[in-house]
């Protein structure tokens, strides 16, 4: 039902076969959870017809449409290992879909960082979101979301997709619990919890729940002692949780950890303190410090290879291939090749011309020529072919505080570093690392002439 509705509202979509799979009965639950009253009975009737026809000339033709897209979204089988929808046509799956603006996107996947970055940049140049949306052919909802996130977190990066919340009952935690229990067999679970916090074993984000602790006591630690009900007169609950900076220290100013973005084993949760808007408490790619860390590290080392495994890179598909056709030079920036290859794994699109994002987003600069290429991928690009780009002289730059550090090298592999509203950050997040923050971020923008034309 829900599926039907959804499909109906997007009947034009290119990769309808995937939707047709519609196997995910469980998804309905999620949908139900999220469902409001809005679309209970009809799939937003009415829109798709004419508008679609007007805006999607290139992908709706023929069979499957997507294959009519530019080769950057050409047909390509999923790589082994990737989930494949059941059905004989699975191998014909393509990733490209085209939105109403004619922009190409991959459903369920983040926009390339280059696009995200561009959105932020344009916004900081004073271009209205609606114009950004049109220029880049990204839905205004997405523009809004990215800008909102950027304003909130200072990061242009998408959130961490997939995975499960890291277990809080790590061996170390269990060990401490055991120690506490051994030290005081009558200790309550909530006391253990407090001690875990107080001792810095856990932080408020990853401290096990009382029930979890009880379960640990019961299952893993067994009967060191059974807390009796009569022991209720213990200490009152304790002190407020430690300031989470205690635990959630940013990697900097110490040499930034290259593993910032994905610190699966990090005892703390990097960057959390400053990321009020990021619900996930486990390592988040949004972490400014992570981003900084990655970036700084990369800038310093000039290599990603050593860190990519633990950074954001696994997610950095960035559908690099999406933009590849626009960059036929296929110059892999040092250290970026692997991520790019990984991107290929995820987005096995036309590999005709590989180019890491970093290739077209050179460090410390954002040459118009390259920029131009970024969004002008033939046909499937994000630039509207017709309407001219806003005049180069454009609106004034964003407020002085606003800045976007543009360093292309990391874009494809780990992180794009963006900062904004330092004052705000000062309040609720760590101040940007002086070393990591581009000293002349605005300068980067200054040096980022808006392409005179989108064509």
Partner DNA sequence: CGCGTAACGGTTGAC
Partner DNA sequence: CTGTCAACCGTTACG
Tokens 């703390």 sit on residue: 268
DSSP state of 217: I
Kindly state the smallest distance separating residue 108's Cβ from DNA, in Å.
2
* Structure token digits, residue 32: 């139900």
Least gap, CB of 224 to DNA (angstroms): 25
Question: Could you tell me the two tokens for 131?
Answer: 């114009």
Asked if 171 interacts with DNA (CB under 7 A), we say: no
Comparison of 117 and 332: residue with beta carbon closer to DNA: 117
Among 59, 68, 72, 160, binds DNA (CB under 7 A): 160
Could you say which DSSP state residue 407 is in? B
215 burial level (CB within 10 Å; 0-12, 13-18, 19+): middle
Q: How far is the CB of 57 from DNA (least distance, A)?
A: 13
Distances (CA, A) of 334 to 279, 340, 350, 355, 405: 34, 11, 22, 11, 20
* Interface with DNA in residues 202-261 (CB under 7 A): none
Nearest to DNA of 162, 236 (CB atom): 162
Asked if 398 is part of the footprint of DNA (rule: CB under 7 A), the reply reads no
Candidate list 50, 164, 211, 393; residue touching DNA; CB under 7 A:
164
Window 262-301: contact mask with DNA (x via CB under 7 A): --x-------------xxx---------------------
4 is an interface residue for DNA by CB under 7 A: yes
Kindly state the smallest distance separating residue 5's Cβ from DNA, in Å. Answer: 5
Choose the binding region for DNA from 133-141, 211-219, 328-336, 402-410 (rule: CB under 7 A): 133-141
Give, as one character, the DSSP assignment of residue 219.
Answer: I
Strand partners, 96: 106
Question: Which one of the spans 26-34, 363-371, 414-422, 427-435 is the region binding DNA (CB under 7 A)?
Answer: 26-34
Give whichever of 264 and 328 is closer to DNA, judged by the CB atom. 264
Q: Assign 3-state DSSP to the chain and report helix, strand, coil percentages, each to 5.
A: 40, 0, 55
Binds DNA (CB under 7 A): choice among 61, 77, 91, 161: 161
Q: Which stretch binds DNA (CB under 7 A): 313-321, 358-366, 387-395, 411-419?
A: 313-321
* 65 vs 158 by CB, closer to DNA: 158
Q: Centre a 10 Å sphere on the Cβ of residue 354 and count the other Cβ atoms it contains.
A: 22
316-355 positions binding DNA, by CB under 7 A: 317, 346
Residues 6+ apart with CB under 8 A from 76: 94, 95, 348, 349, 350
Question: What is the DSSP-derived secondary structure letter of residue 363?
Answer: B
Decide: helix, strand or coil at residue 427.
helix
Interface with DNA in residues 94-113 (CB under 7 A):
97, 99-101, 103, 105-111
3-class DSSP state of 443: helix
């Amino acid at each position: 039902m829900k599926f039907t509705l959804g499909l109906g509202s997007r009947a034009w979509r290119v990769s309808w076969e995937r939707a047709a799979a519609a196997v995910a009965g469980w998804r309905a639950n999620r949908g139900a959870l999220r469902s409001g009253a809005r679309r209970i009975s009809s799939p937003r009737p009415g829109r798709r017809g004419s508008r679609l026809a007007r805006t999607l000339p290139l992908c709706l033709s023929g069979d499957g449409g997507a294959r009519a897209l530019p080769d950057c979204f050409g047909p390509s089988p999923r790589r082994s290992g990737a989930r494949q929808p059941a059905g004989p046509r699975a191998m014909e799956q393509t990733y490209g879909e085209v939105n109403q603006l004619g922009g190409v996107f991959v459903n369920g996947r983040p926009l390339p960082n280059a696009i995200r970055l561009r959105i932020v940049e344009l916004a900081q140049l004073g271009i209205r979101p609606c114009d950004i949306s049109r220029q880049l052919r990204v839905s205004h909802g997405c523009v809004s979301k990215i800008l909102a996130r950027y304003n909130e977190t200072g990061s242009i990066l998408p959130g961490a997709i997939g995975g499960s919340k890291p277990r809080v009952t790590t061996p170390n935690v269990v060990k401490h619990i055991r120690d506490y229990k051994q030290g005081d067999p009558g200790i309550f679970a909530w006391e253990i919890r407090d001690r875990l916090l107080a001792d810095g074993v856990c932080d408020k984000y990853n401290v096990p729940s009382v029930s979890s602790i009880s379960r640990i006591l019961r299952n893993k630690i067994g009967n060191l002692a059974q807390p009796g009900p009569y022991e209720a007169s213990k200490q009152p609950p304790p002190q407020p949780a430690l300031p989470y900076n205690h635990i959630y220290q940013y990697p900097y100013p110490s040499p930034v950890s290259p593993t910032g973005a994905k610190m699966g084993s990090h005892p703390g949760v990097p960057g959390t303190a400053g990321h009020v808007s990021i619900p996930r408490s486990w390592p988040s790619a949004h972490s400014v410090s992570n981003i900084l860390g990655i970036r700084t590290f990369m800038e310093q080392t000039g290599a990603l290879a050593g860190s990519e495994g633990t950074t954001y890179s696994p997610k950095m598909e960035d559908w690099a291939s999406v933009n590849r056709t626009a960059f036929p030079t296929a110059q892999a920036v040092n250290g970026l090749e692997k991520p790019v290859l990984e991107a290929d794994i995820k987005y096995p699109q036309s590999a005709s011309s590989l180019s890491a994002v970093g290739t077209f987003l050179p460090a410390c600069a954002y040459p118009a020529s390259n920029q131009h290429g970024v969004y002008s991928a033939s046909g499937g690009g994000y630039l509207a072919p017709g309407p001219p780009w806003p005049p180069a002289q454009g609106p004034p730059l964003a407020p002085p505080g606003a800045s976007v550090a543009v360093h292309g090298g990391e874009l494809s592999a780990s992180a794009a570093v963006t900062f904004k509203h330092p004052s705000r950050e000062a309040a609720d997040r760590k101040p940007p690392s002086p070393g990591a923050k581009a000293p002349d971020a605005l300068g980067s923008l200054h040096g980022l002439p808006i392409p005179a034309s989108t064509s």
